[in-house]
């Protein structure tokens, strides 16, 4: 039996985090190619493309066939858009199988400058999703992941079979993660406040590689749209 999506038990629906905010960034990937006025593309551009996805076009992030398959593919708004505070949301299909990860991430333009914080939604395959943050400062790294009693938010297979919305609300008091408008995780305010860029990625790490079955590929990440409000 496959593991179902398990997350922090904060299951009550909250008010729409975008309510009362102004749309500051949006891309629905309707063109024939990625809009480079909004996104900075990777060196291996062949892994990022606009394709037909049902009735609409979607952004697809693929894996590059390589000898060891360890890689990080994707695009970022670095140099094109960044924002401090607001609601960041993406409609995504996650990988179905383990061994590689879909990533929706907020982070500073230069991650080598500390203190900083990285704020992520990760799709790990086999219905596993992880909302978490990593703070980097003079004391090293500290991760903030869901703890305590867990509950299920999506049905088996839904992360990979359909588009779901993954949102991150960043305020002066906290970071809060949402799936389809439902709160799933929260981290209290950290002493790091600087504008952050948006990044969409598809990764195979060294730790993941042993679990990657090449027979399950392609198992791409697809993004229907990205929107940011403030």
**What value does the mean pLDDT take over residues 209-227?**
97
More confident residue, 46 or 193: 46
Q: What does the DSSP 8-state code read for residue 156?
A: T
Model pLDDT, residue 151: 53
Dig out the tokens for 161 from the structure.
Answer: 């079979």
More confident residue, 44 or 228: 228
Give, in order, the Cα–Cα distances in Å from 93 to each of 42, 52, 114, 149, 202.
21, 14, 32, 26, 12
Domain ranges of the chain: 6-14+73-217
Please check whether residue 212 is in contact with residue 100, taking contact to mean a CB–CB distance below 8 angstroms.
Answer: yes
pLDDT tens per residue across span 128-180: 999 999 999 999 999 999 975 445 678 899 999 999 999 999 999 999 999 99
Q: Evaluate if residue 113 carries a pLDDT over 80.
A: yes
Q: What does the DSSP 8-state code read for residue 16?
A: P
Model pLDDT, residue 148: 55
Report d(CA 165, CA 226) in Å as an integer: 9
151 backbone dihedrals φ, ψ, rounded to 5°: -145, 165
SS3 47: helix
pLDDT tens per residue across span 59-107: 999 999 888 999 999 999 999 999 999 999 999 999 999 999 999 999 9
pLDDT tens per residue across span 6-43: 443 334 445 799 999 999 999 999 999 999 999 999 88
SS3 217: coil
Nearest C-alpha neighbor of 5 from the set 146, 137, 110, 141: 146
pTM, two decimals, is 0.91
**What value does the mean pLDDT take over residues 38-51?**
94
SS3 89: strand
Please check whether residue 35 is in contact with residue 77, taking contact to mean a CB–CB distance below 8 angstroms.
Answer: no
Please check whether residue 189 is in contact with residue 132, taking contact to mean a CB–CB distance below 8 angstroms.
Answer: no
Nearest C-alpha neighbor of 135 from the set 192, 62, 95, 185: 192
Q: What does the DSSP 8-state code read for residue 128?
A: -
Which fold does the domain 6-14+73-217 belong to in CATH? Jelly Rolls (2.60.120)
């Amino acid at each position: 039996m496959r593991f179902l999506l398990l997350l922090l038990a904060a299951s009550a629906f909250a008010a729409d985090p975008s309510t009362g905010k102004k749309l500051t960034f949006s891309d629905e990937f309707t063109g024939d190619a990625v809009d480079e006025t909004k996104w900075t593309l990777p060196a291996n551009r062949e892994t990022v493309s606009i394709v037909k996805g049902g009735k609409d076009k979607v952004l697809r992030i693929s894996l590059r066939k390589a000898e060891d398959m360890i890689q990080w593919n994707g695009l970022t708004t670095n140099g094109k858009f960044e924002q401090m505070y607001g609601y960041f949301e993406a409609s995504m299909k996650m990988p179905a199988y383990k061994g590689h990860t879909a990533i929706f991430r907020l982070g500073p333009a230069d991650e080598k400058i500390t203190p900083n914080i990285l704020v992520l939604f990760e799709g790990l395959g086999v219905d596993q999703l992880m909302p978490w943050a990593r703070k980097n400062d003079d004391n090293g790294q500290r991760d903030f992941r869901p703890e305590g009693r867990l509950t299920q938010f999506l049905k088996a297979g839904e992360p990979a079979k359909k588009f779901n919305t993954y949102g991150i609300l960043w305020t002066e008091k906290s970071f809060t993660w949402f799936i389809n408008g439902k709160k799933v995780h929260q981290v209290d305010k950290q002493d790091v406040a600087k504008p952050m860029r948006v990044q969409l990625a598809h990764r195979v790490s060294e730790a993941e590689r042993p679990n990657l079955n090449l027979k399950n590929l392609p198992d791409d990440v697809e993004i229907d749209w990205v929107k940011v409000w403030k």
